[in-house]
């Protein structure tokens, strides 16, 4: 009795390792093949879509009705953002756009812009008008603004916070946040309406 008891498991344990080994090898081979296939599919999709970076430039900017009295600011800003989508297959839904003008990291004014759809290989110009009405400035910011005002030009940062969806063929992505920052835009207070274009940085 004890002999047969130990004999059966002994035979089983002798056979199992080779069977288990071949099973493991098969699963490993299948997994590897699957990974290679998925990798190839991703690579081909990537090559077909060929994503390129969007390019944003602040093309024009001006300020009117500038009045800074007792640390309170009235001013009307106008900006034109040039949005270039160089992609052949990717188009963009801009579902929400918020524009903020800051001076020395202090928000002067913000506003939202109408949503729009940008087709592939397209250049669009996004216009924003921002009206600061009795906007409170810290005393130090106010002082610096006053000093800059005498030179008839002020330097601000213009930020766009957008919620976008991508469209490739009939597929649409989820929402994601795209930030566009245009640093050191110089707007003229004089009648002279010159504006130096500002290349903007993006953060997805």
Q: Which residues bind ligand NAG (CB under 6 A)?
A: 60, 62, 67, 69, 72, 74, 78, 119, 122-124, 133-134, 193, 195
Q: How far is the CB of 80 from ligand NAG (least distance, A)?
A: 7
Quick one: 70 or 174, whose CB is closer to ligand NAG?
Answer: 70
Q: Give least dist CB 34 to ligand NAG, A.
A: 41
Q: Specify the residue, 94 or 160, whose C-beta has the smaller distance to ligand NAG.
A: 94
Q: Which is nearer to ligand NAG, 45 or 67 (CB)?
A: 67
Report DSSP state, residue 104: T
Please give the sequence-ordered ranges of beta strands (E in DSSP) within 48-200, or none if there are none. 55-69, 72-85, 90-103, 106-113, 116-118, 122-136, 153-168, 171-172, 176-188, 198-199
- Among residues 9 and 135, whose Cβ is nearest to ligand NAG? 135
CA dihedral 39, 172, 203, 95 (to 10 degrees): 180
Cβ atoms of 86 and 47 closer than 8 Å:
no
State in angstroms the smallest separation of the CB of 193 from ligand NAG. Answer: 4
CB of 58 vs ligand NAG, minimal distance in Å? 11
* Separation of alpha carbons 183 and 154, rounded Å: 12
């Amino acid at each position: 009795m004890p002999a047969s008891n130990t004999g059966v498991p002994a035979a089983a344990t002798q056979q199992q390792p080779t069977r288990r080994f071949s099973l493991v090898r098969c699963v490993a081979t299948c997994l590897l093949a699957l990974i290679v296939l998925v990798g190839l599919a991703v690579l081909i999709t990537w090559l077909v879509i060929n994503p390129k970076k969007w390019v944003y430039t602040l093309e024009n900017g001006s300020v009117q009705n500038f009045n800074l009295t007792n640390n309170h600011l009235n001013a009307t800003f106008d900006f034109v953002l040039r949005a270039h989508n160089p992609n052949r297959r990717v188009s963009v839904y801009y579902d929400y756009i918020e524009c903020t003008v800051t001076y020395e990291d202090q928000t002067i004014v913000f506003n939202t812009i109408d949503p729009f759809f940008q087709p592939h290989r397209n250049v669009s110009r996004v216009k924003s008008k921002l009206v600061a009405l009795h906007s409170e400035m810290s005393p130090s910011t106010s002082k610096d603004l006053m000093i800059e005002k005498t030179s008839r030009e002020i330097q601000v940062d213009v930020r766009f916070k957008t919620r976008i969806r991508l469209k490739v063929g009939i597929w649409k992505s989820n929402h994601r946040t795209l930030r566009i920052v245009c640093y050191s835009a110089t707007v003229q207070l004089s009648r002279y309406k010159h504006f130096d274009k500002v290349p903007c940085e993006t953060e997805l």
